[in-house]
Amino acid sequence: MQNDFEKQVRDKMKELDLVPSAPVWERVQEQIRQKKDRKRAIIWLPLLGLLLAGGIWWLNDAGNNQTISTSHHTQTNLPSTQKVHSENNIRSKQESENNSPIEQNAATLQNHVERVDQTNTSISILPGSGKGSPEIRTSGISSAKIAKRNKINTIIKEPVQLKETKPAENLDHTIRGIVPFSEQQKLSDNHLTGQENAQLSTIRYQPDKMIQVPNEMEKNNPVRLSEQQTQEIQFKPIVKNLSSGPIVNIARGNDRTWKFGFSGSAGISGAKYGANLFAGNKIADAVRIVDSVQPPFIYNNAASKESKTIQNNFAFSAGMIARKSLSNRFVFSAGILYEYLSYNSTVGIRINQPVAVQGTTNGALYYTSYSTKQQEYLNQYHFISIPVTIHYQVLRNAPLSINAGLSVKQLVKTNALEFNHTSQMYFYNRNAFNRTQLFPAIGVEYALLKDKSLIVGPQFESSIVAFEKNGSDEHLYVGSLKVQWLFLKN
Amino acid sequence: MDHYALVKECLKGRPSAQKELYQQFAGPMLSICYRYTKSMADAEDILQEGFVKVFLNLHQYKFQGELGGWLRRIMVTTAINYLKRNARYQTDLLYPDDNMHVVSHESHPELKMEARELADLVRQLPPGYQTIFNLYAVEGFNHVEIGKILGIKESTSRSQYARSRALLIQWIEQKNNDVKKTVYAK
């Protein structure tokens, strides 16, 4: 009897049908829009931020690259007392020797002369003791003024000394040179024209000697260099404090050149609804459930039909890649790759006779039958891909980087099946696909080997373009382990 | 447009499909919300919140079972959460054991009233009773499930339900008698 009462109540309640007021739908729409905007922002802001930061760094560094250091001239005449540094210099020397564009730039810069007054002065810029700012030792100039204008930690007058420094943490990013400065190459402002004065840059170049002086410092505090004194300039890798002001900034010769190599990856790929990288389900088209659920939410399992889930399958890529350092931490890369993506989907029995679907006929058709024999179909995609990526080195002392980018993929060939809801059939149609796909990608990578020429790490890409033209919102994705091998000269 | 196609259109982000889905289900879903609340404004708030959840999580609907059932489950969950965080309902959701004498109704009156009238009677129950009555008698959850949903003991749910049922039957009988008296008076 008790159940009878509940049943009556339940039946009666089913009859209840109320009509909501009009503003409810408007509020629903508004809230959906707001939440979707927030979601989009969460997904895209970090990527945009990364790209923007990379762009700013690139622009900054492009400006600084006009002033090129050429250590190979300076290394040839190293005094014996400075041998402690020579080992660290070998690499930058070797790199510089092969760098003809640098020499060309240096020759151009040779025309510039430095403004020097009549006071004897020498400068030694040493690595900062703690916070990354360098320490400058001078004689004969207003050191306090320099310190103030250039945000340098300490300026100590007298004497000029050689200091042994720690080995460079990352030779690729470091130039340590002790630069002899001889009498006949003394800089003079006699040759300075108005135009040249305006073009003064951070680094002055003369054959067989090199002086690097901070931009602001030299503009505001003309430095005289004595004939007998030795210039000692040492540089640390650009660190945070330094990068905030133009104290000492150096171009790194070969390090900023393009490096080329092989790129390959292997992993899994699949398809899902929605462009969201981390959401969406993997339901195939051919799912039509006619089951019903009655309160109290007990599914009638006997009558329900299982949805046909897409199964991930193998994916790989292979091609060429080019990388270029934008700064100490940012690297830009681009490449051209062949990519193979695939996934399995469940289909019914193949029809051997052509059947008309959407006005076309094709022999490769399949029933989407639940009652008859089913089979797995391997959907394969062949792409030519152009990935563009910004890499950011997370740790200063370890070559661990995160990366984000965009990959433009052009579909070359596929055997993937499209689903027709009207006829409930899978069929192949070569014109059914959006052949140009855009895949935002994120990943992590770690550089191996002594010269950091082997880069490995996981990567995830998900297309923001639906792969079918029929309005379906299905998107491809691929997760893989990426390996890049750069051709580096030893 | 059938539900399968409707969902697919909604997943593409088409506003017209979203509106159609809303129009198809807003009425029945509002009825659910109405049973759990004390005012139409609260019911509409829950309806709005529920539909926002529906559209943002539609990709999770796996076409297993009827779309209406899936929506219904979201609405019930949304309603319970709304009651839990709303001060007006919270005191009664503590479900204190009272000393009310429960009369066992082995026989129950016939439900001659309209659905809206019955729903209004249910809404007159104290909020705690109202929620348990809805979950057990209408939604079909058992007391173990209700205990988990509301964070109470199974026995509490059982006893609260018995009291709410007794109250409701009493009110229904009263209502039936009033109707009889009116008929006789005529």
Q: What is the pLDDT of residue B64?
A: 81
SS3 state of residue A312: strand
Which residue stretches of chain B have pLDDT < 50?
none
User: Which residue in chain A is spatially nearest to B161 when comparing CA positions?
Assistant: A6
DSSP element (H, E) containing A314: strand A311-325
Task: Say if residue A134's pLDDT is above 90.
Answer: no
Task: Say if residue A177's pLDDT is above 70.
Answer: no
pTM over 0.80: no
- The residue with greater pLDDT, B139 or A87, is B139
Token pair 């900034």 in the structure block, residue: A249
Question: Which span out of A26-40, A110-124, A236-250 was modeled with the highest average pLDDT?
Answer: A26-40
SS3 state of residue A282: coil
pLDDT 10s digits, A214-266:
455 445 554 454 554 444 444 444 443 433 333 333 334 346 788 899 999 99
Q: What is the pLDDT of residue A356?
A: 54
Three state DSSP letters for A374-399? CEEEEEEEEEEEEEEEEEEECCCCCC
Token pair 């990288």 in the structure block, residue: A277
3-state helix, strand, coil in chain A (%, to 5): 25, 35, 40
How far is CA B7 from each of CA A363, B55, B134, B184, rounded to the nearest angstrom? 31, 9, 28, 53
| Under 8 Å between Cβ of B18 and B55 | yes
Average pLDDT over every residue of A465-473: 76
pLDDT category at A73 given cuts 50, 70, 90 is very low
Size of interface A-B (CB pairs under 8 A): 145
pLDDT 10s digits, A392-434:
998 888 889 999 999 999 999 988 887 766 666 677 777 788 8
B55 vs A28: CB contact, 8 Å cut-off? yes
Task: Say if residue A90's pLDDT is above 70.
Answer: no
pLDDT category at A352 given cuts 50, 70, 90 is low
pLDDT 10s digits, A289-313:
333 333 333 333 333 333 446 789 9
Task: Say if residue A86's pLDDT is above 60.
Answer: no
Q: What is the pLDDT of residue A421?
A: 62
A18 vs B34: CB contact, 8 Å cut-off? yes
B115 vs A274: CB contact, 8 Å cut-off? no
Please give the single-letter amino acid code of residue A115.
Answer: R
Task: Say if residue A454's pLDDT is above 50.
Answer: yes
Measured between CB atoms, which of B28, B62, B110 is closest to A281? B62
Q: What is the pLDDT of residue A234?
A: 43
Say how far apart CA A441 and CA A435 lie, in whole Å: 18
Q: How far is B24 from chain A (nearest CA, A)?
A: 11
Q: What is the pLDDT of residue A160?
A: 43
Chain B residues with CB inside 8 Å of A474's CB?
none
Q: What is the pLDDT of residue B48?
A: 93
Q: What was the ipTM of the complex prediction?
A: 0.85
Q: What is the mean pLDDT of chain A?
A: 64
| Under 8 Å between Cβ of B118 and A6 | no
User: Which residue in chain A is spatially nearest to B10 when comparing CA positions?
Assistant: A473
pLDDT category at A180 given cuts 50, 70, 90 is very low
- Choose the mutation target among B2, B11, B105 for the interface with A, i.e. most A CBs under 10 Å: B11
Q: What is the mean pLDDT of chain B?
A: 84
A16 vs B35: CB contact, 8 Å cut-off? yes
